[in-house]
Amino acid sequence: MEGYWQLLPELIVIGIAITALFGDLIPGKDRGTALLGAAASTIAAVVVLFWGTAEPLFGGMVVADETARFIRIAVAGLTAVWLLWLAGRDMAGERRREAVALALFSSAGGMILAMSADLIMLYMALELSTMPAYVLMGYKRSDIDGLEGALKYFLLSMLTSLVMLYGLSFIYGLSGTTAYSGISLADTGALGIAAAALVMVGLFAKMSAAPFHYWAPDAYAGAPASSVAFVSTVPKISGMAAIVRLVAIMAPDLGSLGILLGAGAVLSMVLGNLAALPQSDLRRLMAYSGVAHTGYLLLALTAGTEIGYGAVLFYVVAYAAPSMAIMLVSAEEGSSLTDFAGLAARRPVVAWAMVVWLLSLIGIPPFAGFFGKLYLFGAAIDGALVWQTVLAIVMSVVSAGYYFRVIREIFFGDAPESPAEVERSIPASAALALCVLATVAIGLGASPLMQALGFSFP
């Protein structure tokens, strides 16, 4: 029975999520609920950190290994940062209490997803982590564009979920079990690869990988930037962990899985980066650049090696922290690039923080993104994916082109006549400071993180 206490962090998160539904009764209403949620997430992360790992639970459906621990901490930690920010800021003019509950449910889903070692568990956890995201994306009820985007996201996501479920059923049929440990797709021929392809369709869509990324720019551009900050990062971390687990069991049996992943990687990198270049809305820009980053991640997955898997998990966290932070600032300042004009004069500290996050996303050392890319591209070269890696690095330079447009706007843009007045807020500033800290610390202090992940390169 002892092992079931492993799930205590998830229970805390779900418990507080349910409590948050009664936010009207909580002192401080919105702010109090958000702070409570942030505290719960932080406690959950700390419990995971110290509880360590355990034997598989529920007959092997849930595996709390090192990978799961790393991802659970990242998911809970980043959710805490988001909730901390939410405690200090308005969210598209709506009540925030429900958003706290939704984020916590999604976060719990993500934490469970990181531990899933069974097809049923995978599907349920994946849905739990994305369902609340649909609501968050359409959080501003009065905004038609936002609702359209959210609906698009919902429909495409449901459709691809069902396609994935269809694929999962084939895998079950072929191996006779839903447990990862029993799945064997060796010598299944075309049916095996078809099943894997169907599953990948679902996961690609959730990760906004090309060619299933079309929902992302519209959904992001319609949604409040604060919602995008959460939806584009936290579910991505756990989703990537789920893909890593699945690929790790399927890749040895299916040689052609690499072709699927490789094609997705190349398409995502090229499409995402090129489409991000002309964007003038930061949410769209980040949506397309998110596609591109998914492409880099898939590239390392294509290698199908332990280094590749470790690099993917490292990078997805290194990507998520600055990415969330940029969208949070966008929620404060406005989502058009011109809204950032003159930010350096208005809020110099935030302006320099933006520089740190953007440089990290480009992959400039010594920030988190550089080490992430070092490992990703290293894994790809190690897997003999040389031309794809060269393409990836060229695309990184392209990405510098559009990320620098943001920097240019911040420092050299003509300030709008009536810039957004941003009030001082201690929780929101603390949340942004944590993101800077994470971006720098994951870079300079990569070593402890890699130890936690059990990842060494090569």
Partner 1 sequence: MSLLTTIVFVPLIGAIVTALLPKARTDLPKKVALGFGLVDLALAVMLLVRFDVGAVGMQFTERLNWIPEAGIQYFLGVDGISVPLLALSTLLTVLAILASWKIEKRTVLYFTMIQLLAVGMNGVFVALDFVLFYVFWELVLVPMYFLIAVWGGPRREYASIKFFLYTLFGSVFMLVGILALYLHPAGGTFDMIELAARGGSLPTNFQWWVFGAFFLGFAVKVPVFPFHTWLPDAHVEAPTAGSVLLAGIMLKMGTYGFVRISLPMLPDAAASDFWTWTIGVLAAISIVYGAAVAFAQTDMKKLVAYSSVSHMGFVMLGIASGTVAGINGAVVVMVAHGIITGLMFLLVGMVYERTHTRKIADVSGLSSGVPVAGGLLAFASFASLGLPGLAGFPGEFLTLLGAWESDLSRGIVIVSALGVLLAAAYMLWLVQRVVMGEASPIVAKITDLNAREIAIVVPLVALTFGIGLYWSSLLRYVDPAVKAMLTGMGAI
Footprint of partner 1 on this chain (CB under 8 A)?
355, 359, 362, 364-366, 370-371, 374-375, 377-378, 381-382, 389-390, 393-394, 396-397, 400-401, 404, 408, 411-412, 446-447, 450-451, 455-458
CB of 131 to partner 1, least distance (A): 37
Residue 70 or residue 371: which is nearer to partner 1 going by CB?
A: 371
Q: Which string of b and e fits 215-253 if b means at least 16 CB within 10 Å?
A: bbbbbbbbbbbbbbbbbbbbbbbbbbbbbbbbbbbbbeb
Q: Contact 348/273 with Cβ under 8 angstroms?
A: no
CB of 265 to partner 1, least distance (A): 16
CB of 304 to partner 1, least distance (A): 15
CB of 451 to partner 1, least distance (A): 7
CB of 316 to partner 1, least distance (A): 17
What whole-number distance in Å separates Cα of residue 240 and Cα of residue 102? 21
Residue 11 or residue 355: which is nearer to partner 1 going by CB?
A: 355
What whole-number distance in Å separates Cα of residue 167 and Cα of residue 298? 20
Tokens 């959950």 sit at which residue?
A: 44
CB of 110 to partner 1, least distance (A): 25
Q: Contact 78/233 with Cβ under 8 angstroms?
A: yes
What whole-number distance in Å separates Cα of residue 207 and Cα of residue 266? 15
Residue 112 or residue 350: which is nearer to partner 1 going by CB?
A: 350
Residue 190 or residue 384: which is nearer to partner 1 going by CB?
A: 384
Residue 67 or residue 227: which is nearer to partner 1 going by CB?
A: 67
CB of 345 to partner 1, least distance (A): 10
Which tokens in the block code for residue 367?
Answer: 């920030």
Residue 416, preceding peptide bond in cis (omega within 30° of 0): no
Residue 194 or residue 394: which is nearer to partner 1 going by CB?
A: 394
What whole-number distance in Å separates Cα of residue 322 and Cα of residue 301? 22
Q: What angle do CA 57, 62, 68 make, to 5 degrees?
A: 120
Could you please report the per-residue DSSP string of 19-37?
A: HHTTGGGSTTHHHHHHHHH
Residue 5 or residue 412: which is nearer to partner 1 going by CB?
A: 412
